Structure formats: structure tokens, C-alpha cells
Amino acid sequence: MNSCPFCGAREVGRIGRERYYCRECCHEWTKGGGEVKIFEVMSDGSVEPLILERDSISHIVSHSDVRRAG
């Protein structure tokens, strides 16, 4: 089952291929290629990419945090 990656609500709607919308917190997100991108829906209907704190998405992007030893 899908749930909102932002607030965890289960009341989510699918609005397109790999694209979902949460009515609880009014955010959209995509899951293309295993990468989750969250967008904030503005009052005029446009969407803005949401930049999250690094720590809060570390579970999503942890694989890109690997340091190179040399």
C-alpha cells in the first residue's frame, strides 16, 4: 500500500504514472526510478520542488552519502 512519504498518511491518490498526491498535507511526489521526489502544491495549483533537510531524507539517499577513500 502506498503512503505519503512526507506525513505518512494513507489517504493518497494516484494522479499519474509514478505520481501521487496526499490530501492530508497537500504534497505530491513521484517515485520514478526508485527515487522519491516531493513537491509542494501551491494555492494557485502550481507545484514547487520541496527541499528537505539532509537528515530527513538520509534513508532515501543514503547510498549517495558514501565517501570515497581516496
Q: Give yes or no for residue 9 binding Zn ion (CB under 5 A).
A: yes
Under the binding rule (CB under 5 A), the answer on residue 11 touching Zn ion is no
Distance, CA of 50 to CA of 69 (rounded, Å): 31
Q: 11 CB contacts (<8 Å, ≥6 apart)?
A: 22, 23, 24
Q: Which stretch binds Zn ion (CB under 5 A): 22-30, 31-39, 40-48, 52-60?
A: 22-30
Q: Which is nearer to Zn ion, 56 or 64 (CB)?
A: 56
Return the closest-CA partner of residue 37 out of 22, 51, 58.
51
- Minimum distance from residue 3 beta carbon to Zn ion (Å): 8
* Residue 24 interacting with Zn ion (CB under 5 A): yes
